Every structure is written in C-alpha cells, then in structure tokens.
C-alpha cells in the first residue's frame, strides 16, 4: 500500500537523479564553494584574490575548451601539455622578429600537432588515446630540443603585456579565455560544423553513412584543440615571464579532461557543454585554492579532485543506464 503513496510524492520532494547531477551539479558545487569561502575564508572574495583565481584558471579554460570539442567526437587529446611546451619553446627563437611572427609560429606548431593527431585518428584509424600519446611523449622531447633543455627568460614587453596587462581592469588572459568560450559556444550551437561534430560523436558510423565528412571533422577538432593548447602555452609563458618547456603544461591534459568531464560532457561523445566546461575548470581552481587557504596539503586537493571526477563519471554512467 506504500507504493502508490511514493509514486504520488511531489517531484519537488524527490532527491536529484543522476541526469540532474550531471547537468547542474557543477554549478551547485561552485556556488557551495563560494558560499563556504565567503563565510569561512578571510579575504577570499576580494577583488585581488578573485582576479588571481581567474588569471590562474584561464589557460586551463582555454585548453579545456579544445578538449571538450575532441571529447565531443568520442576522442581525447593527451598531447595538449606538450603542445603548450612546444609553443613556449618556439617563442624566444622568433621574438626578435616581433610579437606577431612569434605568435604565428607558436600557433602553427599547434596546427601541426593537431593535424598529426587528427590524421592518425581519422585516416590511419588509431584509437585517440594511442594516437595522441605519441606526441604526449615526443612533443615535449621536441620542445626540450628546440630550447636546448634550458629555461629562457622573456623580455619582450609586448608579450609580457599579455600576461600582466589588462583592459578596463580585466586581465588579457581572462578576456581571451572568455572570448574563446563564446566562440566555441557559437561554433557548437550555431554552425553546421558544430552539429556535425556532435553527430560524429554520437555515432561515427551513422554519420559516415549519412554523407558527413567524418575525416575532415575529426581533423578539424584536433587542429582547434592544438591551436588552443599553443595559445595557452603562449599566455602561460607571458605570465611566468619565462619559457620553461620542461615544466610548462605538465599534467595540463588531466586538468583539461577533468574540467570537461566534471562540466557534464560525456566521454562517450555526442555532446559538448561549453558553459559546464568553463565552470568545471573554475570548480577545480576554487577547490584547490580553498584547501590551500585552509593550510591543507596539495595531496588533499588531488584526492578531492579524484573524488569529484569519480562522482561525475558515475553520474554519467547512471544516466546512460536509464
């Protein structure tokens, strides 16, 4: 006799299901963290501290946006950290010719990495994790060769302005990350390429049978991901005032994948959540900053991040099983 009563329970009294958590959980988590810090963390919600948090998370957001497009096609790109290092290593070699040529060379390196990854996935037929693993290792090695294995200081004032300058009080790195988020959102939701990308991720075989240019779409998303990673490497170099290919971009691929997954984009492809990806990156940054402010070791932050990833993947798994 209790079944009918439970079935008639108002929807507002039911606990959130996996689909709700996957869609809105990341926003709720960010709100909870902000509320906690507002109440218990001294000087956390000051303008200077919030500016610092946004500047630190901007490169992660940029890389995660490219990663979201790749994951949307049921792929993954493990080479983004190495691409950042390669772009950073190339900058000092060409800054003597001016900022624009140096930036173009760095971005061309991202295009080249993306073309290699995209070709291995779409033409050769390798699994994305295997294809991009090659440049995960080889790309950083190439960056170290280009830089002679040494850290090089950056003195070009135009490049340094990208890392420390601002417009109307908003840092350039944050403005660039925000502009790219809007660009990717428009690409996914307003263009034919975006709709085709989602279709390929949903069912690659069916997309091919429907006449979609699957190979070009796959190459395109890996190229975009490579360019975004190279740009993130440039901005990180400008902020650090040095090119350090041995350290720059280390574990960035994991940070980007975490932001995408926590933001609600399924690893099985067929969907890209741009706002969720940006919020996922902010969540990981806020979580780490909160723990640091309360004198907890970095290992605690890593464990907390792992727990959040498991919760996000479990929510996605539960949603698919329904």
Q: For residue range 247-289, list pLDDT tens digits in order.
A: 998 889 999 999 999 898 888 888 899 999 999 999 999 988 8
Residues of the chain short of pLDDT 50, as ranges, are: 1-9, 11-13
Q: What is the C-alpha separation between 146 and 140, in angstroms, rounded?
A: 10
Predicted local distance difference test score (pLDDT) of residue 168 = 85
The closest alpha carbon to 281, from 110, 67, 36, belongs to: 67
User: Which residue blocks in the chain are alpha helix, DSSP H?
Assistant: 2-7, 18-40, 47-72, 80-94, 99-119, 128-146, 157-164, 172-190, 192-202, 204-209, 214-240, 252-262, 274-293, 298-321
- Count the Cβ atoms, other than its own, within 10 Å of residue 144: 16
pLDDT of residue 12: 46
> pLDDT at position 5, please?
46
CB 74 within 8 A of CB 204: yes
* Residue 204, number of CB atoms within 10 A of its CB: 19
Longest dimension (CA), the chain: 81
For residue 282, what are its two tokens?
A: 């902010």
Q: What is the pLDDT of residue 189?
A: 93
Give, in order, the Cα–Cα distances in Å from 281 to each of 60, 63, 75, 225, 252.
Answer: 7, 10, 19, 16, 11
At 19 the pLDDT is 66
Radius of gyration over alpha carbons of the chain, in Å?
21
Q: Tell me, what's the pLDDT at 77?
A: 95
pLDDT at 268: 87
Task: Return the pLDDT at 319.
Answer: 55
- d(CA 108, CA 54) in angstroms, rounded, equals 27
In the structure encoding, which two tokens stand for residue 126, read together? Answer: 């390798």
pLDDT score at 81: 95
Cα 68 from Cα 256, distance rounded (Å): 8
Gap between the Cα atoms of 199 and 201, Å rounded: 5
């Amino acid at each position: 006799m209790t079944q009918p009563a439970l079935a008639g329970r108002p929807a507002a009294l039911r606990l959130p299901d996996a689909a709700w958590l996957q869609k809105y959980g990341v926003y709720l988590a960010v709100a909870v963290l902000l509320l906690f810090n507002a109440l218990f963390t001294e000087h956390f919600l000051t303008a200077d501290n919030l500016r610092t948090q946004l500047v630190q998370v901007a490169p992660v957001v940029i890389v995660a946006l490219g990663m979201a497009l790749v994951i949307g096609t049921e792929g993954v790109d493990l080479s983004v950290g190495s691409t950042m290092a390669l772009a950073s290593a190339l900058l000092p070699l060409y800054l003597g010719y001016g900022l624009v040529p140096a930036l173009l060379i760095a971005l061309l390196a991202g295009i080249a990495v993306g073309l290699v990854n995209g070709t291995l996935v779409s033409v050769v037929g390798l699994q994305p994790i295997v294809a991009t693993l090659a440049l995960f290792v080889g790309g950083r090695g190439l960056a170290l060769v280009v830089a002679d294995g040494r850290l090089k200081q950056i003195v070009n004032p135009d490049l340094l302005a990208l890392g420390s300058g601002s417009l109307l009080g908003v840092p350039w790195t944050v403005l660039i990350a925000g502009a790219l988020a809007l660009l990717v959102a428009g690409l996914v939701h307003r263009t034919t390429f975006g709709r085709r990308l989602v279709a390929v991720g949903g069912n690659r075989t069916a997309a091919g049978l429907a006449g979609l240019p699957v190979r070009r779409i796959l190459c395109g998303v890996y190229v975009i991901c490579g360019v975004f990673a190279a740009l993130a490497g440039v901005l990180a170099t400008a902020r650090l005032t040095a090119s350090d290919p041995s350290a720059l971009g280390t574990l960035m691929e994991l940070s980007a994948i975490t932001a995408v997954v926590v933001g609600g984009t399924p690893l099985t492809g067929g969907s890209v959540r741009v706002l969720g990806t940006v919020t996922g990156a902010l969540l990981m940054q806020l979580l780490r900053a909160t723990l640091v402010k309360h004198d907890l070791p970095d290992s605690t932050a890593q464990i907390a991040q792992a727990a959040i990833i498991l919760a996000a993947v479990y929510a996605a798994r539960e949603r698919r099983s329904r």
